[in-house]
Amino acid sequence: MEAGSAGTMRRRLLAALEVPSILAVPVVLVACAANGVQAAAGLTLLVVVLCVGLSLAGYEASRPALRQVMPTATLAGLAAAGRILFAPIPDVKPVSAIAIVAGAALGRREGFMVGALAALVSNFFFGQGAWTPWQMYAWGLVGYLAGVLGGHGLFERRGVLYTYGFVSALMYGAILNGWYVIGYVEPITWPAVVAAYAAGLPWDCLHGAATVGFLAAIWVPWGARIRRVVAKYGL
């Protein structure tokens, strides 16, 4: 009984920390950049690692059954494989689109898991480094927000779906560009920040356009299959 109570308390605590930990990343990132905090790169990396770790722990604490884990793991594997397959084409990757489909069809936590695990697994091919937790967080956030929006029925309007697909790529780019500024720009000044983001904007827009294209291709067939699996197994 005590073990069960402890498990329940752990799940509640992790659930309560879910949103604050996600919000903490951009807050700390902006605060460090604005105030010129020393060792900002290490501090922000620690916050990102903690956020991703809490998200993974929260998913594990929910004790999903195997039938719930399999769709998430399958979509994460497909996203990782798609990223590797499209490696020759810069910023044309299906990861964001698959994370969005996962979040909308399975839920916000599953969307986060698909985006985060796709980044982790595919980086065994592209190379692991300090950028990996940032990519896990950024793609996880894409899937998480898709779960929130999809849960409110907003993606029933195709225009909202495609708009989010494009904006999600800009959000991903903003997070990764923020990590670049914190880690490599010295001193951090407004002209330097603007230059860094301006240099990445064309690639972020390409990523956004590609995400919209992938969504147009997979939203209906993949979504229908996932919903059938959800209904059949009561996920």
Query: What was the pLDDT predicted at 96?
Result: 96
Residues making up the chain, counted from first to last: 235
Q: Give pLDDT < 50 ranges for the chain.
A: 1
Distance CA 141, CA 135 (A): 10
Query: What was the pLDDT predicted at 18?
Result: 85
Query: What was the pLDDT predicted at 39?
Result: 76
180 burial (CB, 10 Å; 0-12 / 13-18 / 19+) is: middle
Q: What is the pTM for the complete model shown?
A: 0.91
Query: What was the pLDDT predicted at 4?
Result: 60
Query: What was the pLDDT predicted at 214?
Result: 95
Is the domain covering 65-233 a CATH 1.10.1760.20 domain?
A: yes
Query: What was the pLDDT predicted at 1?
Result: 43
- Cα angle at 79 between 19 and 164, to 5 degrees? 55
Query: What was the pLDDT predicted at 3?
Result: 53
The crossing angle, in degrees rounded to 10, of helices 95-106 and 66-85 is 160
Query: What was the pLDDT predicted at 17?
Result: 82
Q: Residue 218: which of 103, 97, 79, 81 has the closest Cα? A: 97
Query: What was the pLDDT predicted at 117?
Result: 94
